[in-house]
Structure formats: C-alpha cells, structure tokens
Amino acid sequence: MAPHHPFVKAIGRSLRHRCGVEAGSSLLVAVSGGGDSVALLRALAAIAPRRGWKLKLTVGHVQHHLRDEGGQAEADAQFVAQLAEQLGLDGLRADLDPQSLQQGGNTEALARQGRYDALTEMAEQTGADFVATAHHGDDQLETILMRLLRGSSVRGLAGMAWRRHVQPGSNIWLIRPMLALDRADVLRFLHDLNQPWRRDHTNADVTRLRARLRHDVLPVLHDIQPNLAHRTVGAAQHLRDVAHMMNRTIEMIYHEQVRGDAETLFIMDRDMVGELIRAMVWDLMRRVLIEAGCSPDTLTRKTLSPIVSAIRDGKGGKRTFDLSNSVVVTITRHAVHVKPARKSE
C-alpha cells in the first residue's frame, strides 16, 4: 500500500521537480524519531527501490543530550536504530556535547548548528549527495510567522528553500521534500501504515514561540484556509524569487560600485546607494559588512536600521557607527566608508 499512497507520490514529485534528486542518488535521511521524520523515512524507503529511482538511503540520527529526562532522548535514538534495521537500511548516530551547547549564546541555535555539522559529517562519510530533512508546510508557515513577528526582510519571509547547500562551500545539498505537505498529511500517512513514532514533549511547551504558534494559531488558520500548506509554498516561492532578483542586483552594484583604498575597506557613493529602495540598501550594507568581517548574527534590525536611515535621510555632516569585529561605518555628505577601527597605541 505504501508505494501507492498519496503521501509517497507527493514526496516523489517533490524529489524530482523541487529538490533536484536524480535516479541513483545517495541520500542521508535525518531522523529524530518524531512523526515527521519517521513519515519521511517510510516514504523514501518506499520510493528508493523503484526502477526509476534506485536511491541509496542511510539513516542519520543526532543525539543532542539536552532532553533526556527518564532516558527519553536515548530511547528515541534506540527507536531510530531499530526502525532503520527493520527497513534494511544502514544507520549512523552522532552524539553532541551538551556542555558546548550551553556555554553562552542561544542554546537552540547552537544545537541546530551542531546538528547540521553532524549531518554534514555523516553525509560526507557515506558519500551522500543529499541530506533530507522532514520540514513540512506547517513548519514553513511557523517559520514565516516567526520571522514576520520579528520584522524580517524579504529574504527571511521567503522561508525555507526546497534545497540549499547543507553548509557554505559544501557540494552536498540539504533538501526538504515535504514542504508541500502538512502535519495532517503526515499523521494520516503514519496511521494508514500503523507506524508508531516518538513524541517530543518540548513541542507542548507553549512558552516557546514556535510551539505557541503551532498550538494556538495554526489551527485557526487551517480552519480559515484548509489548503494552507500549498498556498504557503506558493507565497514563499514568490518571495524567494523576489529575494533572488534583489540579490542579483545587489551583487551587480557591489562589484561595479563598491571600491576601496589604502585605509578604507569599502567606499560607496552615498547618492547612488540612497536612491535604492530601503530593502536593497539594507541588504547591500549587510553584504558589505559581512565582507568587512562582521558576523551575520550581529547585523540585526537594531544595528542596521540607524545606518540605513542615515544613508537615506539626505542630511550632511559626518556620522559614525562602531560595529562588531572592530568595523566602523562613516557616513559623509557624499560617501559611505566602511573600515577597521583605529586601535589605540
């Protein structure tokens, strides 16, 4: 029944037409043990042996050691290992150091980065062309709503891409073949297969923004628009196209207009930059500042907004902004200078 299930057919279409997966490819499937990733694994396992696909699958599980009350996280790992064995697939496991995930910064962000680092390493170990994750349409909608609430740019509101490089500089692709499906589709598939899965109790913690949206907001939106996942996919793709067009324009401006001298890393004509729409000034400055050595995480709305406003307000005088990594932005009547801060003797 599984190979002909609508859920499996939808995954197959996404693999070919959205994710760029070709017959004979090797995939590392990221499986946490939760319903979403178990459904993805079962669907891919049904697709893999088909004559038109012949995919090589490996199951990858990352144990974060952050949520192990009563051995729950370890039980998740054992569940994934047993499922891989039942499906006749090789399985790999990576264990993260919990102390390294709790030493300053955002624990959730550090855990996410550690997870992708581990998945990249496993993919390289197995020679995988792709890392497949189980993000679906409701995850996409949650992500877009979270970014909307935080005032994200067009790039942020474009949500998650169907495919991207798993890490900068890597030839391995991260793919999300479930984006056109939603949580209801996942549960229906699992129940039709009589397939158990592990439950993550942190998903019920409504003090976390994503969980609050999932429990209190998405049910209302699904009631208003039952076809919400598909509409979200279309809207996100439209915004991604807009972001791509902006990126191409910004890269052209960067290479044609941004210059430097002995003391200044980057000099831009203020009038030229000021004529751009605000969103493009924002992204151009972000591009230049990252090139100058600023960490992308430090270039928040609070940091960039006063710089962008100063460039576009038409006022004279000299204004200076000291940023992270000893980078200074100086705005004069006719130019925008980006240079390293002078170090005290």
pLDDT by residue (tens digit) across 254-291? 888 888 776 677 888 999 988 899 989 998 998 899 88
Average pLDDT over residues 16-29: 97
pTM above 0.85, yes or no: no
Cite the beta strand spans of 239-334 per DSSP E.
266-269, 319-322, 327-331
Q: What is the DSSP letter of 3?
A: G
Q: What is the pLDDT of residue 68?
A: 59
Residue that wins the pLDDT comparison between 3 and 226: 226
Residue that wins the pLDDT comparison between 297 and 328: 328
From CA 161, how far away is CA 163, in angstroms rounded?
5
Percent of the chain with pLDDT over 70: 92
Mean model confidence pLDDT for the chain: 89
Task: Specify whether the CB–CB gap between 304 and 285 falls below 8 A.
Answer: yes
55-93 burial string, b = 16+ CB within 10 Å, else e? Answer: bbbbbbbbbbebeeeeeebeebbebbbebbeebebebbb
Q: What is the pLDDT of residue 66?
A: 66
